[in-house]
Amino acid sequence: MKLNIKAILAPMSPKERIAYIWDYYKFHIIGTMAAIILLISFISSIGEKKEVVLNMTIIGQGVNSEGMTELQEHLTDKLVHDKGDQEVSVQHLTYSKSSMDQASRAGIQKMSAEITLGAIDILIIEKDLFEEISSQPSSLVALNDFKGIDKLLTSDEKVYGISTSDIQLLAPLELDENKVFCVPSTSKNLKNINKFFTLVSQ
């Protein structure tokens, strides 16, 4: 007959009870403590996460990581009022058309998912990807619709992408001439994109 835990612990001293419980339940105790620590960590990370007011995503190769940090800090300084709770995000996704490895496939999948969710406001992509995306109806916003962009446009025709080399503000990224700047039609931060173009025109 299996004894009740109370019956087992009853004749023991406090020290013996602790030793017994630890011997038989240490994995349960450690597992429970680890779960509590992970839960606390997860909750605190959610609380610390800042609201992204403008998300710039670069997909391709040859991006200066230090320049990304510099640009993100500059844009956050210029476009964000509440720096304690908000920020501008500049992220890089790997992509190479010539070698569609696992990283490139993952980059394309993440880009597609974030565009669908409206999580990307400004997109910098390789020319071949731009041509593929822009061939889909209503996939991009005409850049003519933004204030401040007129200095970068040479005609009144609808323009959906421009070379990143035309935008001096992006110089820290050290992008090659094959990159195109565009705005997905699903973007939710059109107001802040207008502010971005105001900086571009200065």
Flag the least confident range among 41-50, 61-70, 174-183: 41-50
Identify whether residues 68 and 42 lie together within a single domain: no
- Which residue did the predictor score with more confidence, 4 or 188? 188
Q: From residue 33, how far is each of 1, 44, 103 by CA, in Å?
A: 32, 17, 36
Identify whether residues 89 and 33 lie together within a single domain: no
46 band by pLDDT with thresholds 50, 70 and 90: low
- Which residue did the predictor score with more confidence, 41 or 119? 119
Give residue-wise pLDDT tens across range 136-189: 888 999 988 887 777 777 777 888 999 998 888 899 998 888 899 999 999 988
29/145 Cα distance (integer angstroms):
60
Whether pLDDT at 1 is above 50: no
Domain count, the chain: 2
Q: What's the whole-number mean pLDDT along residues 35-55?
A: 74
**Orientation of helix 65-79 relative to helix 190-200, angle to 10°:** 110
16 band by pLDDT with thresholds 50, 70 and 90: confident
Q: Which residue in this structure is represented by tokens 């990370």?
A: 45
45 band by pLDDT with thresholds 50, 70 and 90: low
Pairing of strands 86-94, 122-126: unpaired
Identify whether residues 13 and 78 lie together within a single domain: no
119/51 Cα distance (integer angstroms):
12
Give residue-wise pLDDT tens across range 102-150: 777 888 888 888 888 888 999 999 898 899 888 888 899 998 888 777 7
The torsion angles phi and psi of 94, rounded to 5 degrees, stand at: -70, 140
pLDDT of the residue at 44: 61
Identify whether residues 95 and 71 lie together within a single domain: yes
Residue 51 one-letter amino acid: E
Identify whether residues 37 and 98 lie together within a single domain: no
Identify whether residues 27 and 93 lie together within a single domain: no
29/142 Cα distance (integer angstroms):
59
Question: If you average pLDDT over every residue of the chain, what do you get?
Answer: 83
Q: Which domain holds residue 178?
A: 50-200
> 3-class secondary structure for the chain?
CCCCHHHHHCCCCHHHHHHHHHHHHHHHHHHHHHHHHHHHHHHHHHHHCCEEEEEEEEEECCCCHHHHHHHHHHHHHHHCCCCCCEEEEEEEEECCCCCCCHHHHHHHHHHHHHHHHCCCCEEEEEHHHHHHHHCCCCCECCHHHCCCHHHHCCCCCCCCCEEHHHCHHHHHHCCCCCEEEECECCCCCHHHHHHHHHHHCC
Query: How much of the chain exceeds pLDDT 90, in percent?
Result: 20
73 band by pLDDT with thresholds 50, 70 and 90: very high
pLDDT of the residue at 124: 94
Identify whether residues 94 and 146 lie together within a single domain: yes
pLDDT of the residue at 48: 58
Identify whether residues 181 and 120 lie together within a single domain: yes
Identify whether residues 118 and 146 lie together within a single domain: yes
Identify whether residues 120 and 173 lie together within a single domain: yes
199/80 Cα distance (integer angstroms):
13
Q: What's the whole-number mean pLDDT along residues 69-88?
A: 87
CATH number of domain containing 185? 3.40.190.10
For residue 73, give both structure tokens: 């800090």
